[in-house]
A and B are shown apart, each in its own frame.
Chain A
């Protein structure tokens, strides 16, 4: 076909462009659904150790999205030596399997947060979010003081969990689903994932964790710190052989 024909016929040009682009898309995306090793199996004693977020962590994640943390922070440690030395074990696909949308990111203005959980104390996170430069003088992160003063809105947690359930996150709403979660994650975790107990679970975790150091109320700070403290902590890499996760590639 002469290229004049295509270039002077916009309808044909559009159709052919779409075909070329969709070939690229299909070749890259479809196999990820078909090839079994895409998402690693991470089981300890027969139970999945990577679980969906608890209601409080989920609320914190929503604040993370609302405040646009992802514009500066990635959550994806690549399998490079320099990244491993700084951030820890490379991220697994399985670790973001319940993230919708995932927070891998492509820009690191701030450090990667994929394994920030447990690295700092709650107190540090609270202070750092309110006034980053009071602990990291060279930081250019904005202050987020309102997190400490804003009460967490959590009445709609069941609805948010239901929405995620629709896209495949195993939150349970019936006794059957709950039992399936007990089988898959163990009883304790299954309890956290039950939509029927969402509000009660959220308050329980906020009080027990006392993330913002003030137990008189549940603030957005409680939720965000709970989320940050769980990031990258669900896989105990000491329980797996060094080569195990490479065998999935």
Chain B
């Protein structure tokens, strides 16, 4: 077969050749493609009629036969042309209506009743898991274990601001400001050392009893005044967010039982020296009352709820 014959086009070409023998077909468009194109034109015209489409100076065509009805906060029914915001409102209201019954029960009954009712607690639990992940996990971590030194552990038995339903709800609703003053100026190095030793002794560390006794005097005396918030026994005060120092649970000082007394003492000293300034944001404006209740229930059952 000669090469000239194979390159002879069977269909019409655009009539020019590049590079000696490169030619371009001039085929009509495939039928299916052409019809699909016409179909999109027809679709566009229908769309213009039904949906908001063409600008008209200071206004625009709103679309025919296509309205959305939603309810305003004061219960009026508003009918409007199709738009994403109205559609969104209707969608939110429809979803709320579906959950309304169970949400109302959740909003109304005491927490103990939620815990006792399997249907209610299952619903609250699955809703809270999502809320917790979106809003709380950034600090308290997805399992609620917190970050040592920074964000309290919600899954253990120790509560800085109280672990009853009412206290947890209060914490979420209004936020908290954890504050302990810095004692860097009030106490000298030796005193800091003694107080830290005393604090460790409260949690059962083997320490120099003489140093602990001196530290105790500062703790419970005017020099330190630690007892104002932590109480004479060191058991803390939830109204002040003051930690219980006797339970071997450490929320700020990174204390580990295996690290040895000296390392632990340094960690406690660092906290006393620097004080604590930390904040939990208030969620009242961001979450609604029922959501706060559901989260309260969830945090309470993470562990150690009182």
Contacts and interface: CB of A to CB of B under 8 A. Distances in A.
Interface of A: 4, 27, 30-31, 34-36, 78-81, 84-86, 88, 90, 118-124, 127-128, 134-137, 213, 236, 238, 241-243, 245-249
A72 B155 CA distance: 32
Interface residues of B, number: 41
Q: Is the interface of B mostly helix, strand, loop or mixed?
A: mixed
Interface string B41-59: 0000000000000110111
A81 B92 contact: yes
A135 B147 contact: yes
A79 B70 contact: no
A249 B281 contact: no
Given A4-B14, A123-B150, A249-B83, A27 B134 contact: no
B85 interface: yes
Q: Which 6 A-B pairs have the closest CB atoms?
A: A31-B55, A79-B88, A249-B83, A246-B85, A243-B72, A121-B279
Given A86-B134, A136-B138, A238-B285, A30 B89 contact: no
Given A35-B58, A86-B134, A124-B138, 7 more contacts: A79-B84, A80-B88, A81-B91, A84-B88, A135-B151, A238-B285, A249-B84
A31 B56 CA distance: 8
Interface string B263-283: 000000000000001111100
Interface in B74-91: 74, 78, 80, 83-89, 91
Contact of A120 (B57, B58, B87, B281): B281
B60 A246 contact: no
A243 B71 CA distance: 7
Counting chain B CB atoms within 10 Å of each CB, which of A86, A122, A134, A246 scores highest?
Answer: A246
Nearest to A242: B73
Contacts of A36: 58
Contact of B80 (A118, A122, A213, A246): A246
B185 interface: no
Counting chain A CB atoms within 10 Å of each CB, which of B83, B139, B141, B280 scores highest?
Answer: B139
